[in-house]
Structure 1
Amino acid sequence: MKKRIILTLLLIMVAFIFVPFIPVLSFTETHTDSPIPHYLSIKKEKNFQIIFTHTIHKTDVIENYRVFNNKEILLLSMEYSDVAIGMPSYAEEGQTLLYEDGKYTLSYDRSVLPHFTLFIGNVEDQLFLQYQQKKYDLKEGLEKGKSYLFEVKKLSLLEVMKGANLNEQ
């Protein structure tokens, strides 16, 4: 009987270490054999933003997202002030473009992404992830000149211990 209890407790501890259960916003370098997971734990708040300075216009672009079904990313809208190079000047099907107070807001009816790749440019323009009223400088937490797969996923306790928590910047 004691052996069964000990074995059961041991199995529970092993599962606790190796089974993914911690929801995170994850950045995984794409061109390496053994990437270090960079992550930010997801709390109850499901909305987040990526804020960057457009390299040509030198104006801020704010992309608004929501964690969807605890594994996908819902692109809600994009806000910007210039429609020249690289920024849409009209809405396509499933989109709405509004112009108010010198800002364009491109909203998406339903743009669900399983993941996307984010390139950390080797320029001095800003790049932030904003979550729960806090900004995380991605150019400090991630390596410039590298591409990262951004996704919502669950990490095991072991992966969390091996990874780099963006909250500890």
Structure 2
Amino acid sequence: MKNKIVYLLFLLPFFLIMILLLIFTPKTEALVFQYQNSGKTLAYLYILEGETFQMKYTHSIHLSDVVESYEVLSDGRIKQYELMYEDFAIGMPANASEGETFEQVDGKYYIKNMERIFPSFDLRVGKVRANHTLIFEDNEYPLSQIIEPGTWVRLKIETINLWQRWKGVNILEK
């Protein structure tokens, strides 16, 4: 009996160290959806430097689609490089800013070559008609199926560990 106790006491620290390594060591870059600005991860999407994603939503006034296109930069910031919309109306730009280009193609308006860089950005998942949708690798993921409509979320690029992955929802698995 005494030998078993000594043996277990010897193995216990080994297993604790292994568990801690498993939880805190494996880290992966991800687009993280955090609850407000609390740091609590609600959902995430594995994404690498140079990869792009889009946020599509229905404009609340003219009820047409708007698509914002983003790229992940090497320093973990997010660059908006394009905006597509279908109607000139309240809240939509009438032209491109300096260095950007404005195009009209098939009844849609594009502002390209944008260099708007953010450490993060916030959005409130639409309750009624916004239908915020993440587009990644030509697949669409409606946020309302993952995050409760009306929730304010902060999107940012973050290195997450195994523990954070367990707490959040991998958008690709939905």
State the partner residue of 1:76. Answer: 81
TM-score, normalised via structure 2 length: 0.81
Other structure's SS at 1:38 match:
strand
Q: Which one of the candidate residues 24, 30, 38 is aligned to 2:30?
A: 24
Gaps of 5+ in 2: 1-12
> Deviations for 1:42-80, whole angstroms, at most 9, x for unmatched residues?
258701111111111111111111111161111110011
* 2:146 pairs with 1:153: no
Aligned match for 2:115, one of 110, 113, 121? 110
Q: Which moved more, 1:75-84 or 1:92-101?
A: 92-101
- 4+ runs deviating over 4 angstroms: 7-13
- Report Cα offsets for 1:91-150 as digits up to 9, x if no partner: 222322222221110124422111100111221332210111211111111111111000
CA shift digits 1:4-31 (9 cap, x unpaired): xxx8997576344214621111100116
Aligned to 2:44: 39
Distance 2:46 2:76 in 1: 13
| 1:96 alignment partner in structure 2 | 101
The percentage of counterpart residues that share the same residue type is 31
Equivalent residue for 1:164?
169
Q: Distance in 2 between matches of 1:93 and 1:123?
A: 35
The residue number in structure 2 matching 1:14 is 20
SS at match of 1:37: strand
Q: CA RMSD in A?
A: 2.6
Preserved contact between residue 98 and residue 106 of structure 1 (Cα < 8 Å): yes
CA distance in 2, matches of 1:119, 1:47: 21
TM-score, normalization by structure 1: 0.84
> Among residues 111, 119, 124, which one is paired with 1:119 in the alignment?
124
Counterpart-to-counterpart distance in 1, 2:142 and 2:94: 29
State the match for 1:139 in structure 2: 144
Are the equivalent residues in 1 in contact too, given 2:48–2:72 (CA < 8 A)? no
Worse-superposed segment, 14-23 or 89-98? 14-23
Structure 1: tracts of 5 or more residues without a match? 1-6
* Bigger Rg over Cα: 2
Give the match's secondary structure for 1:161: helix
Question: Residue 65 of structure 2 is aligned with which of 60, 68, 76?
Answer: 60
Q: Helix, strand or coil: the match of 2:140?
A: strand
